[in-house]
Amino acid sequence: MSNASKNHDPDRYKLAAQNRKARHDFAIIESIEVGIVLTGPEVKSLRMGRAQIAEAYATDRHSDIWLFNAHIPEYAQALKDKPQEPRRPRKLLLHRKQINKLIGQITRDGMTLVPLDIHFNERGIAKVTLGLAKGKNKSDKREAIKEREWNREKSRLLKSNNA
C-alpha cells in the first residue's frame, strides 16, 4: 500500500507529485493544504503527473509564501510563443494569519516548509500539502529505520502466532 493511499482517500483527489524523501529527512510537525498559482499549461502538465518536488522548498519572499525549485515541465501541446520556466518560483495562496504564523515559525523556531505533495482536490483545483518540519540528523534517521523494522517484525510475529 502506497503512502498516498494510507494518508488520503484516493477517491477524494488525484496525486500529481509526491516528495517521498521528505518524511525520511524531516520530522513533520504540522501539515497544511494551500493553493498554488499556476498557468494553464502547468495545470495540464500536472494532470499528466509529470511534476517533481523532491528538491523543492517553500519560504517567505516579500511577506508571502513562495514555492521554489519545484519542477513542472512544459506541456508539449502548449503554445510555443509563451515558453514557461519549469523551475520558476510559484506563489502559494494562504490567508494572511496563516502566512504570519508560518513566517514566525520559520524565523524563530528554525523550522522549514517542505512540500509533501501536489494534488487535485475534489473540485479539480491544484493544491500543495506543506509540512512544517524540523530536520533530522543521522541518528534520528537510524532510529526511525530501527523502529520501522521492529514494527514490521512484531506484526510478522503476531501474524504467525495467530495463524
The answer to whether the beta carbons of residues 129 and 119 sit under 8 Å apart is yes
**Interior/surface letters 133-154, b for 16+ CB within 10 angstroms, e for the rest:** beebeeeeeeeeeeeeeeeeee
pLDDT of residue 56: 87
Q: What is the rounded CA–CA span in Å between residue 22 and residue 129?
A: 12
Task: Give the pLDDT mean for 125-132.
Answer: 90
Task: Give the pLDDT mean for 78-84.
Answer: 65
Amino acid (1-letter code) at residue 24 = H
Of 44, 65, 63, 41, nearest in space to 115 by CA: 65
For residues 73 and 130, the model is more confident at: 130
**pLDDT one-digit tens code per residue, 9-50:** 554 568 888 888 888 788 888 889 999 988 888 888 888 888
Q: What is the rounded CA–CA span in Å between residue 47 and residue 55?
A: 20
Instruction: Decide if pLDDT at 130 tops 60.
Output: yes
pLDDT of residue 16: 81
